[in-house]
Copies of this chain bind each other. A is one copy, B any other.
Amino acid sequence: MSGLADWIAVDWGTSRLRAWPIDGAGHVIAHLSSDKGMGGLAPQAFEPALLDLVAPHLDPVRATPVIACGMVGARQGWAEAGYEAVPCAPPGLARATRAPATDPRLDVAILPGLRQESPADVMRGEETQIAGFLAATPGFDGTICLPGTHSKWVQVSAGEVVSFRSVMTGELFAAIAGHTVLRHSLGEPNDESAFLESVAEAMARPEALTARLFGLRAEALLHGLAADTAAARASGLLIGLELAGARGYWLGTRLALVGAPALTARYAAALAAQGAVPEIADGDAMVLAGLQAAWAQAGE
């Protein structure tokens, strides 16, 4: 698809850049993505990486607004977009930081992240998914969980983020699977009942986590534990620990999961076993909705 964009929505994370050129009627013209995530880019490489992706959709005679969120706004990103302190609504375009572009066809604004003083915490990118979810779910009060590399548990009330807590579940799983003796024993998680058993074990005895992790290696050596079951157990132990630690966020409250479908399904199964029934929304759709909400708000 081609066509000139009215404006462009951009989600720029550590490992991936995604862009949606949007026309004057609010329709997405194209779904574009590249592997030029913020993690691998020097400051001067951001503008070319964006142009590579969106140039065909830029009006040659004016600056096209680009609204971006995510790690592109970190200190090591294109331009540091700071953090708004909670409690606050997900920040809109009025709080954005202009990124230095030399191409006159680009006018790039980066949305800030959120910060919490105590316990110290930060997010960058998830606030835009939250904005999208709140735009799509008027009147939502409760907890939004965004599982991932650094899962977020977010208490929302009256359109504001009240408090939140990040948990290193996804990144810890990757570090364990890639950089410990378990690298020999973990495949792709694929054993629902082993997963749920391990969730329950970790919730019942969270202090046994690091012994149970080594136990997966020993089970593989001594009893031939299958790699997909071992991975399901490791995932269940880490997610179970997360659910135990975040109990105050999800127990007895309205709860939504926002994220990649495979991951939200896994969290939903774990939560269902604890009697919690979350709503589920797609993370990609929500980040786009959040960027669209920022654009709509600016036009008001």
| Cβ of A98 under 8 Å from chain B | no
Given contacts A168-B210, A178-B179, 12 further A-B contacts (CB under 8 A): A120-B219, A120-B221, A120-B222, A121-B218, A122-B221, A168-B214, A171-B181, A175-B175, A175-B179, A210-B242, A210-B245, A211-B242
| Cβ of A162 under 8 Å from chain B | no
A-B pairs with beta carbons under 8 Å apart, 26 shown:
A83-B222, A120-B222, A121-B214, A121-B215, A122-B217, A122-B222, A166-B211, A166-B214, A166-B218, A167-B210, A167-B211, A167-B214, A168-B213, A169-B210, A172-B210, A174-B179, A175-B175, A175-B179, A175-B180, A203-B207, A205-B245, A207-B244, A207-B245, A209-B209, A210-B238, A211-B245
- Nearest residue (CB) in B for A239 is B210
With both chains docked as a complex, state the minimum distance between the C-beta of A65 and any C-beta of chain B, in angstroms: 29
- Nearest residue (CB) in B for A247 is B207
User: Which residues of B have CB within 8 Å of A205?
Assistant: 245
User: Which residues of B have CB within 8 Å of A209?
Assistant: 206, 209, 241, 245
| Cβ of A150 under 8 Å from chain B | yes
| Cβ of A119 under 8 Å from chain B | yes
With both chains docked as a complex, state the minimum distance between the C-beta of A6 and any C-beta of chain B, in angstroms: 35
Q: A176 to B172, Cβ gap below 8 A?
A: yes
CA distance in complex: A168, B218 (Å):
12
Q: B179 to A179, Cβ gap below 8 A?
A: yes
- Nearest residue (CB) in B for A176 is B175
